[in-house]
Structure 1
Amino acid sequence: MVVTYLDSWFTTVSTICSCGLTTIDFAQLSRASQLVMMGFAFISGFAMSTLPALIIKAQTHKTTQGTNVDDDNEKCDLGNDDECEASNTRWDHNLPSHVRAELARLPTPVKLRYRAYIMCIVLILGLYFIIYTTGFIAIGTWLQTHSSPQYLMQNNITLSPWYISGMLTLFSFNQNGLTPFSTSLTRYADDVFLNIVLVLLVMSGSSFFPILLRNVVFLSRRLAPWRHKAIFDYILLNNHHLSTLLYPTLQTRIYFCVTIMLYSMGIGISLILDLNSKDLQQYSPGIRFIIFIFQTINLRFCGFQSFDISLFATATLLVYLLLMATKPQMLCALDESPFEIYWLTLEAQAEVDAETNNNKRNTSKSLPLMLQRAFSMTPTTTTDTSLFKQMKGFLRRQSLVTKELAKKELSKSIDNEKTNPKRSKRIKALRLRLFLIHFIRALFKHTFDFFILTRTWLFVFIFLICAIEYRRMSPADPDITLLKIIFEIISAFGGVGMSLGYPNKTTSFASILSAGSKVILIATMLMGRHRGLLAS
């Protein structure tokens, strides 16, 4: 099998980005190449890719000097743990000795965050091991005992059920959507048990992993000795500040409800529009329902196909586009800082009003300024690119300089108001200059936000692919349509790997596109993988 450099690059990026789009038949690759791709998929998985950051943070907080990063040690001497412990127990000399001995066994603030990071790493790896082992044994045992040899056949060779199990477990949990079969999982469309296990693996590795991890923390806290409960309480309290896989309780519930709602919408639309499709007549109504569940859940993150989705109704495919582009994680990134600051300000104002009944006018006037300063301290959407930072800093400096000049000119104008009632030309020029600076800053910010944060660049990429492929598109080739191009772009951006395909091709629709279009899809997969960095 001859593999070009571009196809190799495309497949590697697709595997690392947990996408699953392919321009070559993955099943035709050698065993060594498949194992290499499996290794890439493992280390770049949804949860595994967060471990290096946790390890670095844990190493940083291993020594007391590292706690300066998060100021966990409060006012204790950073160079002496014994002094910290002494200061923490100085107030409880009146307690019984056995109580003081038990309190001394609790972790100090200096050690608490370090142990929390270590515990997060242990829990994530433990959850990984349990899910992988359970899925591997369940699929392997089922294939070995219930699948006939023709269901394990590829290239006239009967594959080991345990090799198939390992690949399906890995690529389903990490949402790669790759299989050792050229026809994906169409041969197992009527295998209810295998479909259910794969659905659970896909959901465990994507939508439900934060939910599972948080419940594991709750369970561990309940089972742990009392002196270790403080570590789990600290994890639950700081959640997202420790690991990006942990959300607060409210956001986790919202995440769960929104995920179920999206799944239900996709399944419901499929049942309404495609249940009686002539292309599904070979399957019983129960198997059709299983196919709809399997395709909808895989459409959210993974790229497995047990049925050719290009045969579904166009309205169903449009709903699938929406499901691929929508991620419920955005609802779990709710920033509660503005509300908390606002509430604390109101509480402070109430205390002041209760203690002092005068100066209410000054307090009410200063409150908006306090709120404005408080809200200005909250994180806003910025960019990480140095060029944009330099441009923003330059415009800000020009704005400050212009404001100072305007203040001086206005003060002079007020002092000379009797002799010179009209504004000077210099004040008008400064006003115009300040207006232009504000206008440029707003235009620059809104243009960048509109193009990057609103995903406008996706439409630019769609336009570029259409421009590159316009000579080959319908009606020249009725199988190269705008819908297929849009579907491929959204699938690449969402890291799904689902494709409408091309007749007589076992690979994705991207395989018949030109080199320029493939490069654009590679860029789309990379930007989709790191979509949160620009808004972080």
Structure 2
Amino acid sequence: MLPFYSLLLIATWLVPKYCLVQLNEPFLYISATTFKFVLTSTLFLTKLKMKMSKFVCFITKKLQNLSIFVNPFWIQICYFISVSSVGFLVLKVLKPRNKSFRPNDFDVFFMSVSATTVSSMSTLEMEVFSDTQLTVLTILMVLGGEVFVSVLGLHWLNSKFKKQETQNKVIDPLVVSVEDLRYKSSIRYLSYVVWAYFLVIHIVGSTMISIYMSLVSSARNVLKNKGLHLVTFSMFTTVSTFTNCGFIPTNENMIVFSKHSGLLLILIPQILLGNTLYPPCLRFLIWVLWRLTKREELNYLLRMNFSDGIGYNHLLPFLHSCLLVVTVFGFIVIQFILFCCMEWNSEALKGLNCYQKLVAALFQSVNSRHTGESVVDLSIISPAILVLYVVMMYLPPYTTFLPRKNDEQSLRSNEKMKKRREKLVENLLFSQLSYLAIFIILICITEREKLREDPLNFTVLNIVIEVISAYGNVGFTTGYSCERQLKHDGYCKDAWYGFSGRWSNEGKLILILVMFFGRLKKFNMEGGKGWKLM
């Protein structure tokens, strides 16, 4: 299969040039270029899936051995730290786009952590990175994405089942019940469905971006002027959008594409499919496959309850999935209306027509929950919108505001509270807000000199936005402007990276901890119950 793809790939590199140079047919050139990209993406993803499968098997075997002795929280934190460290070493070895510029090692590690935790907090401009480094960042985002990490969990369950079956055959071949076999088979089918969901969205998303960039000359010129390749941009943007990381290979993020409403509309579904609407879409896909195939394993997955402990927290019950859809779109509508009311005639949307403003407002509203891609400069929008974004960034992805009977979360927490040791640990834990308040206070201490000398840039609100954005793994930032300095520094130059890029190394280190804490916040959602406000 791969040699056949390779022959086609060689042909597709020659056909576009022939169509343009010899035949002088731009349309054929675009069609051939698009076909080349699709084939390149398919070949890349095929090789990637083979390598990922080997990687997943290796990791799950190691995790299976560790999980017997170690809490899942420590397994995941070791995983993210290891991936971030390896990513840092690879990024450091590779040369940046401008070979005369060598970024600070701490900033490179910060960017590696940001990509792995899908936070998109930046201390370096994105156009600093070469194509090879952008590919490394793409891989880090894949490895740190919630869907991929959940696939690791499913493979761990499958490997655990295989080990149990081997032991049971040795002890007693009849010890496994029919219900156990059905459950194990359903988990295996679930892993297949998630893999298909993951690959199809990436292939379709990358192809649609490639087609748009090929057909729209103004968008293609942006890549040409910045020295970005179409394949690199399409793959990087699709992965970043689906994993809800928010990195874009351009310095300006999506501001440079604010007038390209078609591209924004292509990205919006990918944002929702990869995060907030992932459980409802996954459940709908399983239902469609069950209707087509009538497989009992798929029907079993649909009938499973969250409280039964299927081992995959993203497969929510039907009612919860419906309420989640209502909640997600409710939040989007609220933000969209408020953004249009407050910013319609503002500097942030200057130069856009009515249609472009509507699409930009919708894109910004969808991104505020977890993705962090932005078409406006957040430093110039109204404080009311910024406070609303802080609330949106704080909320977990599967938040629902409608009441549900027999809340599965409370059932799980009650089971945990039965054990005395776990009860003691939970009573000692602080709430999420308490930890965030501590982080904000620590950063205010480390940056106290700049808070005093540069009060227009270093405001408490800007620090709060940066911390909550890192905690929510969003990536929104107000940036830094040399024009707002009270004491003008002749050496100050505006740069397209986050506000945290102007912090001290101590402040950046605290923000790294916040990114890890936010990526693993699901392990502390029940924290703070030992504290009672009277």
TM superposition score normalised by structure 2:
0.71
Match status 1:180 vs 2:216? no
Query: In the alignment, does 2:123 pair up with 1:23?
Result: yes
Structure 1 spans left out of the alignment, 5+ residues: 69-75, 86-107, 342-374, 394-443
Contact 2:343 2:382 in 1 (8 A): yes
Q: Does 1:129 align with 2:199?
A: yes
- Change over 3 Å in CA distance of 1:340–1:236 after alignment to 2: same
Q: Aligned pair in 2 of structure 1 residues 466, 65: CA closer, same or farther (>3 Å)?
A: same
Relative to 1, partners in 2 of residues 1:183 and 1:154: Cα closer, same or farther, differing over 3 Å? farther
Q: Indicate the larger mover: 279-288 or 330-339.
A: 330-339
User: Partner letter of residue 115 of structure 1?
Assistant: S
* Corresponding residue number in structure 2 for 1:14: 114
Match of 1:80 among 154, 159, 173: 173
Superposition pairs of residues 207-218 of structure 1, within 5 angstroms: 207-218=276-287
Assess if the C-alpha contact under 8 Å between 1:19 and 1:496 holds in 2.
Answer: yes
Match of 1:531 in 2: 521
Residue 326 of structure 1: how far off its partner (Å) = 1.3
Letter in 1 for 2:415: P
Give the corresponding residue for 2:415. 379
Aligned length: 410
Among 189, 213, 223, which residue is 1:152 paired with? Answer: 223
User: Contact between 2:370 and 2:397, CA under 8 Å: does it hold in 1?
Assistant: no
Name the residue aligned to 1:237.
303
- CA RMSD after TM alignment: 3.1
Residue matched to 1:440:
none
SS in 2 for 1:488: helix
Q: Counterparts of 1:64 and 1:111 in 2: how far apart (Å)?
A: 11
SS in 1 for 2:415: coil
Deviation at 1:475, TM superposition (A): 5.5
Q: Give how far 1:534 is off.
A: 2.6
Deviation at 1:278, TM superposition (A): 4.0
Is 2:476 aligned against 1:498? yes
SS of equivalent to 2:249: coil
Q: Are residue 141 (structure 1) and residue 211 (structure 2) matched?
A: yes
What is the CA-CA distance between 1:223 and the residue it aligns to? 0.8
The corresponding residue for 2:463 is 485
Question: Would you say the 8 A contact 2:245–2:371 is kept in 1?
Answer: yes
Q: Shift of the alpha carbon at 1:109?
A: 2.8
Q: Identity over the aligned pairs, expressed in percent?
A: 20
Q: Shift of the alpha carbon at 1:474?
A: 5.2
Q: Which residues of 2 match residues 43-82 of structure 1 at below 5 A?
A: 43-62=143-162, 65=165, 79-81=172-174
The CA distance in 2 between the partners of 1:532 and 1:282, in whole Å, is 42
How far residue 42 of structure 1 moved from its aligned partner, in angstroms, is: 0.8
Q: How does 1:117-516 map to 2 (within 5 A)?
A: 117-148=187-218, 149-155=220-226, 157=227, 159-225=228-294, 228=295, 230-238=296-304, 240=306, 241-242=309-310, 243-331=312-400, 378-380=414-416, 389=421, 392=424, 445=427, 448-449=428-429, 452-473=430-451, 476-503=454-481, 504-516=494-506
Deviation at 1:130, TM superposition (A): 1.3
Aligned position for 1:105: none
> Partner amino acid for 2:463?
I
Task: Give the letter for the 1:152 counterpart.
Answer: L
Q: Contact 1:474–1:481 (CA<8 Å) still a contact in 2?
A: no
- Give distance in 2, aligned partners of 1:340 and 1:531: 15
1:65–1:78 CA contact under 8 A, matched in 2: no
The residue type paired with residue 187 of structure 2 is Y
1:281 to partner: Cα distance: 3.3
Q: Is the 8 A contact 1:173 1:205 kept in 2?
A: yes
State the 1:24 CA deviation.
0.8
| CA deviation map 1:44-99 (0-9, x unaligned) | 1121101121112112223664899xxxxxxx997225x979xxxxxxxxxxxxxx
Cα deviations by residue, 1:443-471 (Å, 9 ceiling, x for unpaired) = x92xx35xx22421111111111122121
Task: Check conservation: 1:77, 1:84, Cα contact below 8 A.
Answer: no
Q: 1:50 to 1:165 in 2, by over 3 A?
A: same
Residue 154 and residue 484 in structure 1: after superposition, are their counterparts in 2 closer, same or farther (change >3 A)?
Answer: farther
* Structure 2: segments with no counterpart, 5+ residues: 1-100, 482-493, 527-534
Q: Does 1:517 align with 2:515?
A: no
Greater Rg by CA: 1
- Contact 2:462/2:478 (<8 A) preserved: yes
**Counterpart-to-counterpart distance in 2, 1:208 and 1:376:** 23
Structure 1 Cα separation of the partners of residues 230 and 372 of structure 2:
21
Deviation at 1:193, TM superposition (A): 0.9
CA offset at residue 163 of structure 1?
2.1
Alpha-carbon distance between aligned partners in 2 of 1:123 and 1:316, rounded to the nearest angstrom:
38
Is the Cα contact below 8 Å between 2:245 and 2:475 reproduced in 1? yes
Q: 1:335 to 1:116 in 2, by over 3 A?
A: farther
Task: Give distance in 2, aligned partners of 1:279 and 1:479.
Answer: 18
Q: Take 2:409 and 2:514, find their aligned partners in 1: how far apart are those partners?
A: 37
Contact 2:348–2:377 at 8 Å: present in 1 too? Answer: no
Cα deviation for residue 306 of structure 1 reads 1.5
Q: CA deviation at 1:234?
A: 1.6
